[in-house]
Amino acid sequence: MQGKVYLVGAGPSDPGLFTRRGEEILKRAEVVVYDALVGQGVLGMIPREAKLINVGKRASHHTMKQEEINGVLVREAKAGRVVVRLKGGDPFLFGRGGEELELLRAHGVPFEIVPGVTSALAVPAYNGIPVTHREFASSVHIITGHRKAGETLDIDFQSLTKGGGTLVFLMGVRSLPEIVRGLLAAGMPADMTAAVLERGTSAGQRRVVAALGELEDEAGRQGIGTPAIIVVGEVCKLAETFGWYEQLPLFGE
Ligand code: SAH
């Protein structure tokens, strides 16, 4: 019997943001291969009998190499199992979902894709930041701030700055100083509003909003860690007025 791989987006953390299609499939899973960024609430929906494989990747310690992950998916599906490849946010946004599909295709393994709510949009939303707004920004750019050890960032700060849209950097906490420097050097005003949003949509959600020129100091003072996204643009000003999540009666529980 031929198995199948479901590439499923788990959303940013809050289990309420996991799609119904994702949940339906997860309940039928025989093998679940998941990342570090999948929220506890979603992990709690995995059937008890399913085999769990944690390939959790966080900045400093790689648990499993991409080739090994690909190998596991192919092997388990070829053994006839229902395999769910569960990824934080949306599987195609900086999730290497495309690379995994290439191998599945090459081995003739059938697959389906279930999009997820991406942190790039949901984390600002949970912090009261609309990424576009008629008065402030008519485009939004999602950029990876990931940089390999010893290398510099390959980002076109000039065009990002010229574009005038909201900038959302994922995987950028460690390169925050370099991102800020790059934007300032490209002519972004030092008093442009920016934010670092940590552990969004979870009980531990925190945010720092500051002028771009002070963002690094402020994030350092508050000890902001990963996972977090960096947002640059006037829309960040709205967080103060629109911030709503921390005001929920059970916030932090
Ligand atoms: N596919 C994912 C992104 C993978 S890259 C998505 O669509 O959301 C991993 C990066 O996503 C992290 O480094 C961080 O920048 C961001 N991220 C994911 N979950 C987050 C969360 N709950 N809060 C803040 N940032 C998050």
Average pLDDT over residues 212-239: 97
The mean predicted confidence, pLDDT, of the chain is 94
Residue with the two structure tokens 């009998």: 49
DSSP string, 205-233: -EEEEEEGGGHHHHHHHTT--SSEEEEES
Q: How many whole angstroms from 228 Cα to the centroid of ligand 1? A: 7
Residues 6+ apart with CB under 8 A from 209: 193, 194, 195, 236, 237, 239, 240
Question: Do the Cβ atoms of 206 and 218 come closer than 8 Å?
Answer: no
Q: DSSP assignment, residue 11?
A: B
Query: What's the pLDDT tens digit per position in 157-207?
Result: 999 999 999 999 999 999 999 999 999 999 999 999 999 999 999 999 999
pLDDT at 57 over 60: no
Pocket of ligand 1 contains residue 85 by CB under 6 Å: no
Catalytic residue status for 171:
yes
Question: Do the Cβ atoms of 171 and 145 come closer than 8 Å?
Answer: yes
**159 against 55, higher pLDDT:** 159
Question: Do the Cβ atoms of 155 and 199 come closer than 8 Å?
Answer: no
**Model confidence pTM above 0.85:** yes
Question: Do the Cβ atoms of 120 and 227 come closer than 8 Å?
Answer: no
Out of 14, 171, 188, 192, pick the active-site residue. 171
